[in-house]
Amino acid sequence: MSETLVASRTPGTDTPVPGASGASRFWRRLRARPSALVAAAVVALLVLVALAAPLLTAVEGQDPTTYHPSLIDSARGGVPLGSFGGIGADHWLGVEPQTGRDLFARLVYGARVSLGVALAATALQVVLGVAIGVGAALGNRWVDQLLSRATDIIVAMPLMVMSLALLAIVPESFPRTVLVTFVIGLIGWGNIAKIVRAQTLTLKGLDYVSAARLSGWGRWRIARRELLPGLAAPVITYAALLVPSNISVEAALSFLGVGVKPPTPSWGQMLTAADVWYQAAPQYLLLPAGALFLTVLALTVLGDGVRTALDPRAASRLRVGTGRRREAKAGETAHSESDKPHKEGNA
Amino acid sequence: MSLVDVTDLTVEFGSLRAVDGLSFRLERGAALALVGESGSGKSTVAGALLGLHHGTGARIGGSVHVVGTDVQRASDEELRRLRGGKAAMVFQDPLSSLDPYYAIGDQIAEVHRVHARVSRRAARARAVEVLDRVGIPDARRRSRSRPHEFSGGMRQRALIAMALACAPDLLIADEPTTALDVTVQAQILDLLHTLREETGMGLLLVTHDVGVAAESVDEVLVMRHGKAVEHGPVGTVLGAPAQAYTRELLGAVPRVDAPRGASRATDEVVLEATGLGRAFGRGKQQVVAVDDVALTIRRGETLGIVGESGSGKTTLGRMLVGLLEPTAGRISYEGSAHTGVNPAVQMVFQDPVSSLNPRRSVGESIADPLRARGEARGEVGGEGAEERIRERVRALLERVGLEGAHYDRYPHEFSGGQRQRVGIARALAADPRVIVCDEPVSALDVTTQAQVVALLGELQRELGLALVFVAHDLAVVRQVSDRVAVMRRGRIVESGPADEVYDSPRDPYTRRLLAAVPALDPEVAARRRAARRELAVA
Amino acid sequence: MNGFGGFVLRRAVGTVITLLAISVIIYVVFYATPGNVAQITCGPRCSPEQVRQVTEQLRLDDPLYLRYWHFLVGILVGRDYSTGTSLEHCAAPCLGLSYQSDQQVLDIILTKLPVSLSLVLGAMVLWLVLGVGTGVLSAWRRGRISERVLTAVTLAGTATPVFVIGLVLMIVVCGEFQLLPFPQYVPFTDDPEQWAWNLLLPWFSLALIEAAAFARLTRASMLETLAEDHIRTFRAYGVGERAIIRRHALRGALAPVIALNANNVGSAVGGAVLTETLFGLPGIGQELVHAVKVVDLPVVVGMVLVIGFFVVLANAVADVLYAVADRRVVLA
């Protein structure tokens, strides 16, 4: 209690700590990490490519769905004609075996799907996770019990398996990309809810929240003004790591043939199809694999950088514990499984 | 040759010069205290004696000789022999300083085997022996316990036992009692004293508490900003300080034996609690934090509530302001029953770091009660209203000794003492009749502490406030309180006018508490120590 | 150890409740679907008459709670199924019959389970050894070149999806250089040596990404532990750096690793689904993908439940292990 505080007195308590506000400190720290900057540039480029996909393919003069039977050698089982899988001025990265569809177009449209699904799913996970985490932390004993149990269950269920299974029961007529987004979003909010709950409990115990209560403000005003801003850092940190993990999940589902369905292009789908063509048309395999690897890597490095920049202390204090709920009750800081957002992410 | 010989020691961390040209010697069997406020560099010196800054990027200049080892030039092997073997260190926080996963006896045995070529069994026996020596009852059995199964005082004893294991010539104690309650502190200081008498080892004590130094050492070195301010025999430095800073430091230390003087209390009761109780948890695990407490607080008076950790004083304070609902009894404000928060009853918090929202400017934090009140009355916040609020906040900032222009600054731009002033301004903004101060100065250095206490006194006189001053520090409580209530295990064991309680305590617990407070005069300290022995025997 | 026994008991009760809740949720979610189960099961070309027959046979007209009740009873004591002409008894842990093959779901799972267990357990050993080893090494060599290299490698590892690394490994190792045959599952009981050789590649594919995550966690956890006060104590008492790492840092650092491992069972199962599909191993994952594609709901529900059961069990066991490793948890 009181005594321990004296103990934790740090040198220079009575000299003001120089320093700037949170946002500018964040940028300064982020800029100090060249790897994060490179990753940010790559991510920016990817987003740009995804946004400009129709424009880019128009420049190339192709689209992702038109078949070009004239470009493949049906005698040899559908291998693209020409060198390097048919690379040329018309088809910048060659064409798909068997169908002759333009690979460049499929790749950039695939980026659209990948990033779009991942970002939308992340947004959904964050909204759900924050709502449920805050609800559990601020609700009464029963609300907390109910929401925390639900969170435990959702965390325990393997995301991959659940999304796979859920995709089985929805009618084919439902738009597939939207469905994949919803399934990932609705199942993957568990860890973020845990982090938010723990962090909210910590904040709730801080004296400045008590002081706001003594000022005469109501619950909502306190939640909005004193609690929610404090959640921004951990939520952004975790969300930044959820994006690459969601990209992997989408690609995995499409790879298994239950995610995004043809003719909509998707990297995971291309990989499945490319499996048997690796000798005849290696770029058909290497392009989506490389794109996937690069995207996930860049987003992971960026997420890492964001985490370090937002909270250098927490970054070195990564904790994954099973005593989570107890610790949260004891008012500890949100420890994150941030080193590994929901696991399948990496699957 | 001296036990410790430090010449012109300089330690720099980056651009920060923590220790600046410090020299001192410590003879065999002697005891020296390094005394200073936070940031004075005293702990850095302690670390430098064992070469603990090696490899941390710190730049170290000057020479350090400890028990015949040239610490600056020593090889890793020589350093390892010095550490623990010839000079052993006792750290501040006994819980985190021990490995949570191993039995205490095993940890002591491990350290012993680093320095002595003995069998595992012999080392274990030595561990039990030293644990017994430092007063751990049933040492053989308790040596198998892990740190979390020990109380705070026992853990500190165990750390001291670890230090004793290899019979060092020098004991370095870095704030050894800061994390402990006052009665436990007295026991640990007494233990150090006896051990020194018996083994003849030298003691280097690092402390922020002048009283602790007076209790334990022969010589004092007062430090400030990494430099020595004054160095000499304890009686001289504390009794007749030559330097202005030493005098300032001593002047700021609250005295437990100084009478309070005239009270400005009135008969008008503002806050009253009857049969107040609070339990946490349910069923078997229920803990009663506060039990059947009755209090009255009158306009213009200060009620001190003093107790050790776990006495329930903080819970009581939070119930008085309505942050915690009592599970028994009731609180009435100006004669009528009241639950929940009440703008007229405000609080000043302990921790200057967590009591202000780091993301909002201090002006906004102070303005909170004003805005909330405006909103509650349904006032539409027009231009004029906003300007009035800012004007009032600026006035409040100036009243607590800050500047009106500080309105738009953020908490991290302020020192601990300044933040505590902001906290006081925020409490005042609600125009309270009562302010409950929960350990308002315990996180502050002693000179800052004195300033904040003085500010609270001024405000009380000026505004006729009733103050409830909750603290563990008996001397501070006496300094500020008209009446005092002593808490133990959730109950008030004794209450009455401050001078009465302090000068002629009736309850045995109060007597023990008072006997444990370190005295500033070494002679008084020796007398007290003798008295404590008698109390312990009795 | 009264408190400890109580802790284990509480944890066990919690696990049972969680499993029940999971079964309800899964059952409701899967059977209260917008699509017409009978139509899906029967196939798109079925006549309304045939669909009605299926509905009757599967008792799809019963209210949902009743069907769940029968399902639960089936799991606990077994139940009988009519397959049109004959009556089939499905014994105690009965997960129902496949819509497609009328086989008992449990039988399907039991025949596939050894493959999946071989894959996941083998990979787990691999990722623990690789991951923890790398993590400890890079914490120890902090600030040196070797640490930077290890950090970069593990970062790249976490960014490589299982199916990408698996595909590349298969093409390079089995295709280009023909160092190993394309994996084909051989039961351990038939030929342990062939079993291991054939699983080598799948193990590596599944383990690599987990190993990277473990390496990162172990490193962070080690560094954190090394910065703790009690490590400083042992340094100040002349205990050597090696002994400090071995005796004091590793012990504290491994507690979160145990916890992560439990959490990762779920993710490993997800990875196993991909690995099995990729390498054509006849495990639960491959079967699940198949069942999803043909919308064989009892099989999907049964498998999800069994997987959930294993994951929840693993979490519970890890909680207890964690408490053993860190007794403070129980007392806190």
Is the predicted pLDDT of residue B432 greater than 90, yes or no?
A: yes
Which has more pLDDT, B258 or B224?
A: B224
Q: Give chain C's domains with CATH numbers.
A: 3-90 (no CATH), 108-329 (1.10.3720.10)
* Cross-chain residue pair B82–C247, CB shorter than 8 Å: no
Task: Return d(Cα B254, Cα B300) in angstroms, integer.
Answer: 22
N-terminal to C-terminal alpha carbon distance within chain A: 45
Work out how many CB contacts closer than 8 A connect B with C: 75
Residue C215 C-alpha, separation from nearest chain B C-alpha, in angstroms: 23
| 8 Å CB contact between B413 and A16 | yes
pLDDT in tens, A33-85: 788 888 889 989 998 988 888 888 777 777 777 777 776 777 766 677 666 66
* Cross-chain residue pair A344–C267, CB shorter than 8 Å: yes
Give residues 250 to 279 of C whose Cβ lies within 8 Å of A. 255-256, 258-260, 262-264, 266-271, 273-274, 277
Chain C residues with CB within 8 Å of chain B CB: 228-230, 232-240, 243, 247-248, 251-252, 325-328, 331
- Select the residue of B358, B372, B414 nearest A217 (Cβ to Cβ): B372
Q: Which of B156, B231, B167, B233 is nearest to B190 (CA)?
A: B156
Q: Which of A4-8, A112-116, B465-469, C104-108 has the lowest mean pLDDT?
A: A4-8
Residue A338 C-alpha, separation from nearest chain B C-alpha, in angstroms: 24
In whole angstroms, how far apart are CA A111 and each of A256, A289, B19, B254, C88?
A: 18, 12, 58, 70, 51
Is the predicted pLDDT of residue B437 greater than 90, yes or no?
A: yes
Burial of A181 (0-12, 13-18, 19+ CB in 10 A): buried
A70: how many CB neighbours lie within 10 A of its CB?
Answer: 7
Which has more pLDDT, B233 or B537?
A: B233
List of residues 6+ apart from B393 with CB closer than 8 A: B363, B366, B367, B370, B404, B407, B425, B429
Burial of B364 (0-12, 13-18, 19+ CB in 10 A): middle
Task: Return d(Cα B348, Cα B329) in angstroms, integer.
Answer: 24
Task: Return d(Cα C249, Cα C135) in angstroms, integer.
Answer: 12
Per-residue model confidence (pLDDT) at position B317 = 94
Q: Is the backbone peptide bond immediately before B168 cis, with ω within 30 degrees of 0?
A: no
B382: how many CB neighbours lie within 10 A of its CB?
Answer: 9
| 8 Å CB contact between A128 and A193 | yes
* Cross-chain residue pair A3–B314, CB shorter than 8 Å: no
Helix, strand, or coil (residue A342): coil
* Cross-chain residue pair C238–B82, CB shorter than 8 Å: yes
- Select the residue of A7, A11, A208 nearest B357 (Cβ to Cβ): A208
Per-residue model confidence (pLDDT) at position C156 = 82
Residue A309 C-alpha, separation from nearest chain C C-alpha, in angstroms: 16
Bridge-partner residues for B205, per DSSP? B33, B173
Residue-wise burial string across B87-111, b where 16 or more C-beta atoms lie within 10 A, e elsewhere: bbbbbbbbbbbbbbbbbbbbbbbbb
List of residues 6+ apart from B349 with CB closer than 8 A: A207, A210, A211, B355, B423, B438, B440
> Which residue of chain C has the CA closest to B145?
C327
Find tokens 């939308």 and name the residue: A120
Q: Which of B82, B350, B44, B68 is nearest to B225 (CA)?
A: B44
Bridge-partner residues for B207, per DSSP? B35
Q: Which of B455, B393, B390 is nearest to B418 (CA)?
A: B455
* Cross-chain residue pair B39–A15, CB shorter than 8 Å: yes
Bridge-partner residues for B471, per DSSP? B306
* Cross-chain residue pair B443–A5, CB shorter than 8 Å: yes
Q: Which chains touch A (3 or more CB pairs under 8 A)?
A: B, C
Q: With an 8 Å Cβ cutoff, is A146 touching chain C?
A: no
* Cross-chain residue pair C252–B148, CB shorter than 8 Å: no
Helical pair C2-31 and A159-169, crossing angle rounded to 10 deg: 20
List of residues 6+ apart from A37 with CB closer than 8 A: A30, A31, A305
Q: With an 8 Å Cβ cutoff, is A144 touching chain C?
A: no
Residue A217 C-alpha, separation from nearest chain B C-alpha, in angstroms: 6
3-state helix, strand, coil in chain A (%, to 5): 70, 0, 30
Residue-wise burial string across C50-80, b where 16 or more C-beta atoms lie within 10 A, e elsewhere: ebeebbeebebeeeeeebbeebeebbeeebe
Task: Return d(Cα B51, Cα B55) in angstroms, integer.
Answer: 9
Sign (positive or negative) of CA dihedral B70, B75, B79, B81: negative
C100: confidence class by pLDDT, cuts 50, 70, 90: confident
pLDDT in tens, A280-336: 677 778 888 888 888 888 888 888 888 777 765 544 333 332 223 233 333 323 333
A chain contacts of residue B367, beta-carbon cutoff 8 Å: none
- Give the CB-side neighbour count of residue B74, counting CA atoms within 13 A: 24
H or E segment and range at residue B180: none
Flag whether the ipTM exceeds 0.90: no
* Cross-chain residue pair C167–A275, CB shorter than 8 Å: yes
Which has more pLDDT, A337 or B178?
A: B178
Helix, strand, or coil (residue A106): helix
Query: Pairing between strand B302-307 and B483-488?
Result: parallel
pLDDT in tens, C25-42: 888 877 776 556 666 666
- CA angle, B106 as apex, B101 and B107 as ends, to 5°? 70
Averaged pLDDT score across all residues of chain C:
81
pLDDT in tens, C108-152: 888 888 898 899 889 989 988 998 888 888 888 777 787 788 888
